[in-house]
Chains A and B, each alone.
Chain A
Amino acid sequence: MSAPRAERILLLRAGTRVALPLRARSLLWSVLLLMALLVAAAATLSLGKLGIPLAELPAALLEPPRGAAGFTLGTLRGPRLVVALGVGAALGISGALFQTVTRNPLGSPDVIGLGAGAGAGVALTGVAWPGVIPTPVGALLGATLAITVVYLATGRGFSSPTRIIIAGIGVAAMASAVTQYVVTITLRDEAAQLAGYLAGSINASSWGSAGLILLVLAVTWPAAAALTPRLNLMELGDSLAQSLGGRTRSTRTLAIIIAVIAAAGAVTVSGPIAFIALTAPQIARRLVRSPGVSLGLSALIGALIMVLADLIAQQAGWAKGLPVGVITAGVGGIYLGYLLLREWRKGLL
Chain B
Amino acid sequence: MTHTPQHTAAAGNSPRGRGFARPALILLLSAAALLLICVLSLIAGSKVTDPGQVLTALRGEGDAHLQTVIASRIPRTVLGACVGAALAVAGVLVQGITRNPLGDPGLLGVSIGASAAVVTATAFLGFSGGVGTVWIALIGALLSVSVVYLVGTRGGGGIAPLLLAGAVVSAVLGTYIQAMILTRPEVFDSFRFWVIGSLAGRDLGSLASVAPVLILGGLLALMLASGLNALALGEDVATSLGVRVAWVRGGGILSAALLCAAATAAVGPIAFIGLAVPHIVRSLIGTDHRWQIPAAILLGATLLIAADIAGRVIARPGELMVGIVTAFIGAPFLLLAVRGGRVVRS
Residues in chain A within 8 A of chain B (CB atoms): 149, 152-155, 160, 162-163, 165-167, 169-171, 173-174, 176-177, 180-181, 183-184, 188-189, 191-192, 195-196, 199, 275, 321-323, 325-326, 329-330, 332-333, 336-337, 339-340, 343-344, 347-348
Contact = CB atoms under 8 A, between A and B. Distances in A.
Contacts of A321: 182-183
Given A173-B330, A177-B327, A192-B182, A163 B344 contact: yes
Interface string B169-199: 0011011001101110100110011011000
A155 B317 CA distance: 38
Contacts of A348: 155-156
A329 B156 CA distance: 28
Contact of B334 (A152, A170, A180): A170
Interface of B: 101-102, 151, 154-158, 160-161, 164-165, 167-168, 171-172, 174-175, 178-179, 181-183, 185, 188-189, 192-193, 195-196, 271-272, 275, 320-321, 323-325, 327-328, 330-332, 334-336, 338-341, 343-344, 346
A192 B187 CA distance: 10
A340 B165 contact: yes
Given A173-B272, A329-B171, 18 more contacts: A155-B338, A155-B341, A163-B344, A166-B344, A167-B334, A169-B102, A169-B334, A170-B332, A173-B331, A181-B196, A321-B182, A322-B178, A329-B175, A330-B175, A340-B165, A343-B161, A344-B161, A347-B158
Chain A contact surface mostly? helix
Contacts of A152: 339
Contact of B155 (A149, A325, A347): A347
Nearest to A338: B168
Given A329-B175, A344-B154, A195 B181 contact: yes
Contacts of A149: 335
5 contacts: A155-B340, A163-B344, A166-B102, A184-B321, A344-B155
A339 B185 contact: no
A275 B178 CA distance: 15
Given A323-B182, A340-B168, A153 B335 contact: yes
A332 B171 contact: yes
Nearest to A191: B192
A149 B339 CA distance: 11
Nearest to B152: A340
Which of A196, A275, A340 has the largest count of B CB atoms less than 10 A from its CB?
A340
B102 A188 contact: no
A205 B4 CA distance: 62
Nearest to B196: A180
Contact of B338 (A170, A326, A329, A343): A170
Contacts of A199: 178, 182
A176 B323 CA distance: 11
A155 B342 CA distance: 12
B335 to A, nearest CB: 4
